[in-house]
Structure 1
Amino acid sequence: MPRFPLSIRQRLALVGLAIALLLAGTGYLVTDRLSHWQLETTSWQQVAEAESKLPPTPHAARQRNRPSTHLSEAIGLAGLLLLASLLTCVLLMVLFTDHLALRPLRELAQWLGRNNGEPDRISTLRTPEIVDLTDRIRELLRRSREATDARLTMLQQAVEQSASVILITDAEGNIEYVNPRFTEVTGYPPGEVLGQTPRILKSGEAPEEVYRELWRTIKSGGEWRGDLHNRRKDGSLYWASETISPIRNCKGEITHFIAVQEDVTEARELAARLAHQAAHDSLTGLINRSEFELRLTALLSTARREYGSQHALVYIDLDQFKVINDTCGHAAGDELLRQIATLMRQQLRQQDVLARLGGDEFGLLLRDCPLEMAARIMNKLHEMVVNYRFGWGDSHFRVGMSAGVVPITAGSPDSAELLKLADATCYMAKEEGRGRVRILRDGEAETTRVSREMAWVERLERALEEDRFLLYGQAIRPLCYDRPDRCEVLLRKLDRDGRIIAPGEFLPAAERFGLSARLDLWVIGHLSELLSHHPGLLSGELMLAVNLSGPSLGDERVLQQIADAVREGPLAKVHLTFEITETAAITNLTAALQFMEELRSQGIHFALDDFGSGLSSFGYLQQLPIDYLKIDGRFVRDMLEDRVDAVIVRSVNDLGHALGIETVAEFVENDAIRERLQEIGVDFGQGYGIARPAPLEQLLRPAADGAS
């Protein structure tokens, strides 16, 4: 039985026919019986039978003599007709590549290859195998459709249930979809916005340039991010953090835009509240010191940039605040500050900046205001405060005000120095009698003094950082009875050139510019360290007196540190007396009383220093738990020549003894003064006529040696 090998064209056509028939879902057998080909399928058999019933034509008769040509053309024609089916199959193979689908096709191809396409062997490929392959492809398509539907359902649910606002527009910006969160945030149902543009949410607060930049970005294919202040349906505003991105089709063309919004209104409001709290005083609602310093710096930069512009800085201090605060309590003091702040704001211009700097101190920036105009504004403000009456319960109080005004020009120092200069000018107003406005002008003599004191501030801060202070001491000796000496601890500054500077040169500047409390803590710390190095002193009857400044009495944090140092460590083992001035005690009466009562329970004594310098102290003397009265040295020094001074010394001594308080006379310069004090009955004396100051360690060494 001869065999006719198939040409390459015939083989390709046969493969195409087999794949096409496979897609039709019916099995076929193809066999070669000598030179006649027969397709054993129902479809082809029906065609053949129909064809055999037709009358033969000459052309057909000739063709029967050429069986191989007839078969080749038939198979070729079938392959060409089914080329579309072949391409469809290839596309499905690419899109749904799966092991189950490709394996049978690979097997078919391998089988054809192994048998070299011989027709006799093709007949061994049975119909069930082809049907099974078809079923697998159909199952694959079904599973793919189900997976696609599941993914689409999942994505739809994610968008619908998203906590973010999602909005989709066409390429022209017309809204085509909004999710339920959009309605929750904006109040607009889908029916009212579909077909509209996002302009329906526009509040009008953002500049038009923001929206132009937004559209430029997304139309060029970029992503835009930013915050927009949008308007809800009810007219209320909300902040939205938005991300807007383009959507492209398979050709890369932008067809839609998708916007994802987050409602950040609460976060924005919280940030605004925190920023406001950080920049404002919670009691008065005015800006606080840190914010005031920032605005002062900005105004100074403006003055330097706009040469010739003039502004003014004002430092304000209420004169009677502490009296009201101590008499009626902190609640009354707080209410006074609120009312004064409101009154001052009402008198100022819109461009002026008022701040509470701390306590009863206020700062004021007068923009575009020469000194002459600043003087008129401040005089009006001063008159308003002076005429004001503060009522609390059944009591009414007058409130005074002292203020210092300094110019802000292109030649002004930096903001920190300007603020110190204004503070010092305000202090000069107080020294001149309080209740007045002091204007600092260039060329005045006071400018030199204030500048000199301001220079001390920097020197003192450097000395604190470099630990360039020394502890000195001066003996306080009994005048009438045989009792042990006491020693007052004094402070000296060691300059960089080795010169020792007395406290009279730097303490006024330290108190004026807020450094005295730091000096007090330095003394306490180094005194404790000195005593720890000489433990022999702690077993004797060492009696020390330490000065505390007024600012320390007004600072609860400093008082707590001092109280802790006294309760623990070496200071707890000596007879310790704290000396406070009558002015400091009266100014900080409430804090002073609490501090004194707490430490007196631990055996600490207190002395009222410079007594007699302020006659108002007599009324408070009985309230203060005082052990010693130190008579102001100005009266003691001239008591032999001035009868009034002598009467004051005797009166203070008698008053102290009547209250059970021992007295100490300062400035005992010679033996004559000492003898006169002994006649009067003063208990202790201190001064150059008794003992000069010396390094504390040198004074304590004999006591340490004796104790050891």
Structure 2
Amino acid sequence: MRQDTEGLLVRLESDKDGILSIDRYGFIQGINPVMAAMLGYGASELEDKPVRLLLPDMDEDLQGDEWRAFFDSRIERHHDHLLEFVSAEGSLIRLDVQMFTGDGLQGGMTLLCRDMTLHLGAQESVFRQREQLSAIYTHATDAILLVDRRGYIENSNPVASELLGLSHRRDGPFFIDDVLRIKNHHDAWVYPFSQALIQERPVVVTDDIQLVLPGRSAIPVSVTASPVRDRSNRITGCVIVLRTTSESRRVSTRLSWHESHDPLTQLANRRQIENEIFRAIDHAHIDDTTHIFLYIDLHNFSVINETCGHGAGDELLRQLGRMLQEEMVNQDVVARIGNDEFAILLWDRQPEAVMDEAERILQRITAFSIPWRNRRLKVGASIGVELINADSTSEIDVLLSAGAACAAAKAAGRNKINYPSPERDSPSRASLSQWTVRISEALDENRFVVYCQPIVPVKAQRDTQHYEVLVRMVDPAGNIISPGKFIPVAETSGLIDDIDRWVFERLFTTLEALPSEVRTGYSFSVNLSGGTISDEKFRDYVVNRFAGSSLEPGLIQFEITETAAVSHFESALAFINALKAYGCAFSLDDFGSGQSSFNYLKQLPVDYLKIDGSFVRRMEVGEVEYSMVSTINHLAHIMGLATIAECVENQSQMALLEEIGVDYVQGFLISTPVPLNTLF
């Protein structure tokens, strides 16, 4: 609360409070010894210095008395008046701040500050204990129920929810005796909750009792019911611990929960959200209701992992998941469906509410941050929106459509939302699930063909014939299907990883079957998706194939897109380093299309930069595109990398590329892709 100068005079001599006086222009006029000691400065070191030196969140460009608005906004926003200051050592210190203004300060301000480190340390200790208890509660193999004094279940851990069938019921709150039905060997009902409340002490029941579940066989159990008391020693409820005495049953219950939940965030996983979407579609068909599905892809998450470590990334995901869960009501579901992807199913909403709901979630995500080692970690998000109604056909369609919408939102820029529209929901889009089925069948039936397109030097001759490996799908009638029709669906559905593995294995076995003198003089570059390079099993599989083969080093190379390399940086680095040991070269594909930093490029030990074809196609008519190609080529050569220009289609482009000094070219001007088996 802002106070006048008279209130400050009473506390000027305090040995507990720091005092900082600021003039009307935002410069420090005075500081008492307590404040200087808190910040680690000598009292005279800060006089006549701008106050922004002490405040990491204050904009350096503030002019005149704009600095006052900084304090006004922080005090209004934070009811506890906590502000973060930077000490002389560079660490962050949180101080409780009161502002004093008045005529006597001539437009300036005096801050009275108290160090909250010890208080916050105690809070942090309590928080850690709560987190530890939460972890025990969540990961316990026993079923745990928290029951209020009236007998209604307030909370249940995952094992209890699964065992008692509460996970999918939405008709709560549940009365304990209605769901916890226990009989003894005399076939009489046992009520441990009531016994604990009446006897006012823990009740343990272990002798030959069984849990009776509707439509299922009775399960041998043991039960402990312990009263919970408040500070006045009054009983406020009860904790019930239920243990299945059959070990196999306990294991299966736990496994059932793990099959439907993400272990890091404790949210539903992809399998579970598919089940929830299926229920929502069924509900929409029966009651003609509408539900809203949001597919969320986080921005900046990979950068946090790389710069702050995976511990920071994991903590951000946990806290973000909890925040999103708190935004849900009734039957709404939050799920983690990928490394940095979430999904939200909002039950029973009006179609006209879709924009408000999506904007609300986006605003909550963009405003969200967590403290981490003197930093605050933030992420952005792209959101794809899909309506579930009586026209919805399948959960796969909903997921694919929302995923494609999310990709479109991401392509439009940061923190964008892609909404349903007649143009977006075209007949071709509605058949995404049909394409998914067709791709799966083609994989099962080996209906893919490896094609190759040559990559040739612009000037110098090269002894080795180098090709990029491409793939075509074949329909049941034997017709070739272009990659533009099935690759986007495969990327959205996750089938691209299976296609990558198929292509690599087919190329490897084909080359391995050839006599060494026939395959000598060739090299083939295989494309890998972000999901594939992140799969440690695939990396081990490739390494083992090379380790057990006599193929010549350099015969097989790999291409990874710039976007995939940055988004999965550590995985890409590990994959490249593992395969470099077997003589494999690497190309960074589509360079210039993403937003990677020079620092990332320096850390990736690649051999080639492939200049994105969108620049090459327009370099004849666009000065910007020409400059991009020239700049990328120059940057690559400084770093000792060779360059490859994609999508070269005419002699004008070829002449410009030769003028710039690009090393290799690829495109229809050189050759159309040809089947692999025609090369030998």
1:477 aligns with 2:436: no
**For residues 426 and 679 of structure 1, what CA distance do their matches in structure 2 show?**
40
* Contact 1:579 1:607 (C-alpha < 8 Å) held by counterparts: yes
Counterpart-to-counterpart distance in 2, 1:225 and 1:541: 83
The corresponding residue for 2:7 is none
> In the alignment, which residue of structure 2 is the partner of 1:400?
380
Which is worse superposed, 230-239 or 511-520?
230-239
Q: Give the secondary-structure state (helix, strand or coil) at the position aligned to 1:566.
A: helix
2:540 counterpart of 1:526: no
Deviation string 1:60-115 (CA, Å, 9 cap, x unpaired) is xxxxxxxxxxxxxxxxxxxxxxxxxxxxxxxxxxxxxxxxxxxxxxxxxxxxxxxx
Q: Are residue 461 (structure 1) and residue 440 (structure 2) matched?
A: yes
Could you list the per-position Cα deviations for residues 455-482 of structure 1 after superposition, in whole angstroms to 9, with x for gaps in the alignment?
3222211111111110111111122212
The CA distance in 1 between the partners of 2:300 and 2:511, in whole Å, is 42
User: 2:525 aligns to what?
Assistant: 545
**Distance (whole Å) between structure 1 residues aligned to residue 179 and residue 644 of structure 2:** 79
**Matched residue, 2:222:** 263
Q: Matches of 1:452 and 1:513 in 2, distance apart?
A: 13
TM-fit CA distance, 1:400: 0.9
Is the Cα contact below 8 Å between 2:397 and 2:432 reproduced in 1?
A: no
**Quick one: structure 1 residues 500 and 280, their matched pair in 2 at CA, closer, same or farther if it must change by over 3 Å?**
closer
Alignment correspondent of 1:559: 539
Aligned amino acid, residue 476 of structure 1:
I
Q: Note closer, same or farther for the CA distance 1:537–1:319 as it changes in structure 2 (3 Å cut).
A: farther
Give the 3-state SS of the residue equivalent to 1:491 in structure 2. strand
Distance 1:647 1:360, change over 3 A: closer
- Checking the alignment, whether the CA contact within 8 Å between 1:226 and 1:242 is kept in structure 2 is no
Q: Is the 1:611–1:631 Cα contact (8 Å) retained in structure 2?
A: yes
Helix, strand or coil at the partner of 2:243: helix
1:402–1:676 Cα change, 3 Å:
closer
- CA–CA distance in structure 2, aligned partners of residues 689 and 275 of structure 1: 56
Q: Say whether 1:377 aligns with 2:348.
A: no
Please point out which of 161, 177, 193 is paired with 1:206.
177
Tell whether the 8 Å contact from 1:521 to 1:562 is kept in structure 2 after alignment. no
Q: 228-237 or 420-429: which moved more?
A: 228-237
Query: Which position in structure 2 is the counterpart of 1:579?
Result: 559
2:209 & 2:264 partners in 1: Cα distance? Answer: 41
Quick check: 1:298 aligned with 2:279?
yes
Relative to structure 1, the CA distance from residue 210 to residue 499 in structure 2 (aligned partners, 3 Å threshold; closer, same or farther) is closer
- Give the drift of 1:355: 2.0
Which structure has more helix as a fraction of its residues? 1
Please report the RMSD computed on the Cα atoms of aligned residues, expressed in angstroms. 3.1
Cα pair 2:209 2:222 within 8 Å, conserved: no
Deviations 1:324-382 (A, max 9, x none): 12221110110000111121122222432222223222222222212223432332221
- What CA deviation, in whole Å up to 9, does each residue of 1:449-507 have, x standing for no partner? 53244432222111111111101111111222121221221111112222212222221
Partner of 2:324: 344
Q: Is the 8 A contact 1:531 1:537 kept in 2?
A: no
Contact 1:559 1:595 in 2 (8 A): yes
1:243, 1:634 → 2: CA distance? 71
SS at match of 2:610: strand
> How far did 1:588 drift?
0.9
Partner of 1:691: 671
1:333–1:698: structure 2 CA closer, same or farther, 3 Å change rule? same
Partner Cα separation in structure 2 for residue 588 and residue 425 of structure 1: 22
- Taking the aligned partners of 2:567 and 2:244, their CA distance within structure 1 comes to 45
Contact 1:566/1:572, CA 8 A, preserved across alignment: no
Letter aligned with residue 494 of structure 1: V
> How big is the shift at 1:286?
1.9
Displacement of 1:537 after TM fit?
Answer: 4.8
**Cα distance change, pair 208–358 in 1 and its aligned pair in 2 (3 A):** closer
Secondary structure of 1:358's aligned partner? coil
SS at match of 2:320: helix
Q: 1:416 to 1:618 in 2, by over 3 A?
A: same
| Preserved CA contact (<8 Å) 2:562 2:596 | no
CA distance in 2, matches of 1:616, 1:316: 21
Q: Distance in 2 between matches of 1:237 and 1:440?
A: 56
Q: Distance in 2 between matches of 1:240 and 1:677?
A: 82
Report the Cα distance in structure 2 between the residues aligned to 1:456 and 1:650, rounded to whole angstroms. Answer: 40
Q: Counterparts of 1:43-122 in structure 2 under 5 Å?
A: none
Counterparts of 1:406-555 in structure 2, within 5 Å, are 406-441=386-421, 443-484=422-463, 485-537=465-517, 540-555=520-535
2:310 aligns with one of 330, 336, 339: 330
The answer as to whether partners of 1:473 and 1:490 remain within 8 angstroms in 2 is yes
Q: Distance in 2 between matches of 1:318 and 1:462?
A: 32
- Aligned pairs for 1:605-624 (under 5 A) are 605-624=585-604
Structure (1 or 2) with the larger CA radius of gyration = 1
- Displacement after TM superposition at 1:590 (Å): 0.9
Identity rate, percent: 36
Aligned pair partner of 1:653 in 619, 627, 633: 633
Higher-strand-fraction structure:
2
With over 3 angstroms needed to count, the CA separation of the structure-2 counterparts of 1:518 and 1:209, relative to structure 1, is closer
- Normalising to structure 1: TM-score of the pair? 0.61
For 1:279 and 1:679, locate their aligned partners in 2 and report how far apart those are by CA, in whole Å.
Answer: 58
The residue identity in structure 2 corresponding to 1:678 is E
1:617-655 CA distance string (max 9 Å, x none): 444221111111112222223333333322222222221
Deviation, 1:207, is 4.8
Give the direction of change, closer, same or farther, for the CA distance of 1:419–1:238 in structure 2 (3 Å limit): farther
- The DSSP-based 3-state class of the residue aligned with 1:688 is coil
User: Deviation at 1:401?
Assistant: 1.9
The equivalent position to 1:283 in structure 2, one of 245, 264, 271, is 264
Q: Alpha carbons of 1:210 and 1:567: their partners in 2 closer, same or farther (altered >3 Å)?
A: closer
Q: Does 1:680 align with 2:660?
A: yes
- Following superposition, which runs of at least 4 residues in structure 1 exceed 6 angstroms of deviation? 208-211, 225-228
Across the two proteins, how many residue pairs are aligned to each other?
472
Q: Distance in 2 between matches of 1:666 and 1:697?
A: 23
Q: Is the 8 A contact 1:667 1:687 kept in 2?
A: yes
* C-alpha contact (below 8 Å) 1:402/1:429 kept by paired residues: yes
Cα distance in structure 1, aligned partners of 2:665 and 2:259: 53
Q: CA deviation at 1:525?
A: 0.7
Partner SS, residue 679 of structure 1? helix
What whole-Å deviation, never above 9, does each CA across 1:218-250 have from its counterpart, x for those lacking one?
9xxxx8488865635454455667579xxxxxx
User: CA 1:656–1:447 in 2, change beyond 3 Å: closer, same or farther?
Assistant: same
Residues 279 and 287, structure 1, Cα contact 8 Å, conserved in 2? yes
CA contact (8 A) 2:260 2:268 kept: yes
Mapped to 1, the partners of 2:617 and 2:494 lie a distance apart of 30
Q: 426-435 or 681-690, which moves further after superposition?
A: 426-435
Amino acid corresponding to residue 641 of structure 2 in structure 1: I
Q: How far does residue 270 in structure 1 lie from its aligned partner after superposition?
A: 4.6
Q: What amino acid maps onto 1:312 in structure 2?
A: I
Q: Take 2:204 and 2:521, find their aligned partners in 1: how far apart are those partners?
A: 74
Match of 1:428, SS state, is helix
